[in-house]
Amino acid sequence: MEPKFIQSHSQKMSLSPQMRVYLHLLHLPLQELRQAVESALEENPMLEEVPRPLDPEDEEVSSPVTNKNKDEEESSEILPDDWAAKDPLTFSNIPPDLSRRKPEDTRKIMDFQETLITRPESLFDYLEWQVHFLELDEAQKKIAHEILGNIDPDGYLKATLEEIAAGSRSECGKVEEVLLKIQRLDPPGVGARDLREALRIQLERKGSDAAFAREIVRDHLELIAKRDWKTLAKIFSTSEPEIKRSVDLIARLDPKPGRSFYVEEAIAITPDATVSIKDGTEEGLEIEVHDDFIPKLRINAEYRRMMREKGLDNKTKEFIKTRLASGIDFLKAIALRGSTLRAITDEIVRAQPLFFTRGFSHLRPLRLKDIAERLELHESTISRAIHGKYLRTPQGTIPYKSFFSQKLETKDGEGESQKSTLERIRSLVKKEDSHKPLSDQAIVKHLEEEGINIARRTVAKYRELLKILPTHLRRVR
């Protein structure tokens, strides 16, 4: 087969470098955007941060310098004529360091503060500390350490006796002996292999008073989950009140023995914008897009001046030209990102005015497509713009994506938001009679009375999303 040259025509879309930068920055939340800006400052010498204006108090305490040294005179000759007008902050008027503390004193204070920083005690640390008080030989200590390493944050042992025996080079019987000792440690129930064992260990500590409860847990835990008191009463030939007393004791046990040691990491959320109610009004809303957190950038005037030099060699000029174009694209992309987020926020406020003053139950149906059509953008651009971003509102700081939900049909034809319907179901269940909880069909009828057409299976699905138990498990007998 001979090689041939074939000419063909095809069309394909390609993104410009500026558009690529814009889409990348648009996707970043505020914290990551700041990192991207700082990286751009390091990588591109054409970009520089615009110095923030000094506070009036700082300007008053700063000492004016009237005599320039030789270096300052030379540096001023290099700068363009309009440098002083555009950059009022120069080295001559930067306020001096007014700190009266010696550097060595500051270091001592910081060292002392670091010694005060402690981390919360973990479940593993607490168990390891208790193991030191057990009478164990070296082989048993090795087994104990292997067991502790396989206990999860909930307090459950997640490895089999065989696996622990293999890891500690021991026998299953010896592993079980050490495990029984660890199961006597605090918190009660730690080291259990399943829920049944965790409850049994806790009940054993309650003595003979919990004997009946231990028997129920050992053989009929599934009937407790179903709240089938009648069947339990028949099995044990006793009354339902007696069954309930034992079940109440079981209900006070901890199904996750290790959760008292949970350490929740604080997640700092920086909202990208704020919607607030104007002072003195009930309906007026004002929007503020937060950009003070991001360093302000500009093109370095010195490199602009170098571009105008006649004797500049071609290699240097090409380097400056390339970096200059990249810097300008970056500045335009940041500005476009801010205006896009502002426009989306404006449209959300226009579409969901009652939410900001009355709450989640007044969310209206809103799709990405609706915002995209109003702003003449693609849906993927809207999706990218709201990804990982938060809005501070009178109802709290919430993700942008919370304002978008599917539409449910109503009798008036206007439609109802899926999320507001979820909130209505939650409210109905919260207000129900615990002795006669609402069935899914009863919830359907309540919603129909409010003008919302919804199927029973949809109510069941929403109830599961809200983590609401079915009717028979919510009933208090």
The answer to whether the CB of 95 falls within 8 A of the CB of 59 is yes
The answer to whether the CB of 421 falls within 8 A of the CB of 363 is no
Residue 66 has pLDDT above 50, yes or no: no
Question: Which range has highest mean pLDDT (13-17, 53-57, 303-307)?
Answer: 303-307
The pLDDT score that the predictor gives to residue 379 is 87
The pLDDT score that the predictor gives to residue 54 is 57
The answer as to whether 240 is a domain residue is no
Residue 102 has pLDDT above 60, yes or no: no
Instruction: Tell me the pLDDT tens digit for each residue of 459-468.
Output: 888 888 777 8
The answer as to whether 182 is a domain residue is yes
Residue 178: pLDDT band (50, 70, 90) is very high
Tokens 């199904």 found at: 255
CA distance 337 to 37: 13
Q: What angle do CA 267, 272, 278 make, to 5 degrees?
A: 115
Residue 226 has pLDDT above 60, yes or no: yes
Q: Which of 24-38, 109-123, 233-247 has the lowest mean pLDDT?
A: 109-123
Question: Which range has highest mean pLDDT (254-263, 328-337, 404-413, 447-456)?
Answer: 328-337
Residue 18 has pLDDT above 60, yes or no: yes
Domain boundary pick from 261, 290, 324: 261
Residue 117: pLDDT band (50, 70, 90) is very low
The pLDDT score that the predictor gives to residue 417 is 58
The pLDDT score that the predictor gives to residue 466 is 78
The answer as to whether 15 is a domain residue is no
Q: What is the CATH number of the domain that holds 465?
A: 1.10.10.60
Q: Which of 84-93, 172-181, 305-314 has the lowest mean pLDDT?
A: 84-93
Instruction: Tell me the pLDDT tens digit for each residue of 265-319.
Output: 556 678 899 998 876 555 678 888 888 778 888 888 888 788 777 777 888 888 8
Mean pLDDT on 219-237: 86
Q: What is the CATH number of the domain that holds 152?
A: 1.10.10.1330
Residue 98: pLDDT band (50, 70, 90) is very low
Residue 105 has pLDDT above 90, yes or no: no
Residues 6+ apart with CB under 8 A from 110: none
CA 55 to chain CA mean position, Å:
35
The answer as to whether 433 is a domain residue is yes
Mean pLDDT on 466-473: 80
Indicate the burial class of 205 (C-beta count within 10 angstroms; 0-12, 13-18, 19 or more): exposed
> What letter does residue 253 receive in the DSSP assignment?
S
Instruction: Tell me the pLDDT tens digit for each residue of 239-253.
Output: 888 888 888 888 888
The answer as to whether 186 is a domain residue is yes
The pLDDT score that the predictor gives to residue 388 is 86
Domain boundary pick from 261, 294, 321: 261
> What letter does residue 376 receive in the DSSP assignment?
T
The answer as to whether 68 is a domain residue is no
The answer as to whether 103 is a domain residue is no
The pLDDT score that the predictor gives to residue 148 is 92
Instruction: Tell me the pLDDT tens digit for each residue of 128-139.
Output: 888 888 888 989
- What is the domain range of residue 468? 408-474
The answer to whether the CB of 25 falls within 8 A of the CB of 333 is yes
The pLDDT score that the predictor gives to residue 100 is 42
The pLDDT score that the predictor gives to residue 91 is 30
Domain boundary pick from 203, 236, 261: 261
The pLDDT score that the predictor gives to residue 434 is 81
Instruction: Tell me the pLDDT tens digit for each residue of 196-223.
Output: 999 999 998 888 888 888 888 888 888 8
Instruction: Tell me the pLDDT tens digit for each residue of 400-446.
Output: 988 887 655 555 445 555 667 777 888 888 888 888 888 888 888 88
Taking each helix axis from N to C end, the angle separating 240-251 and 211-225, rounded to the nearest 10 degrees, works out to 90
DSSP-assigned states of every residue in 391-416? EEETTEEEEGGGG-B-EE-BTTSS-E
Residue 107: pLDDT band (50, 70, 90) is low
Instruction: Tell me the pLDDT tens digit for each residue of 335-373.
Output: 999 999 999 999 999 988 888 888 777 778 788 888 999
The answer as to whether 162 is a domain residue is yes
The pLDDT score that the predictor gives to residue 352 is 87
Query: In the chain, how many domains are there?
Result: 2
Residue 157 has pLDDT above 90, yes or no: yes
Mean pLDDT on 446-453: 78
- 234 or 97: which carries more pLDDT confidence? 234
State pTM to two decimals.
0.51
Residues 6+ apart with CB under 8 A from 291: 338
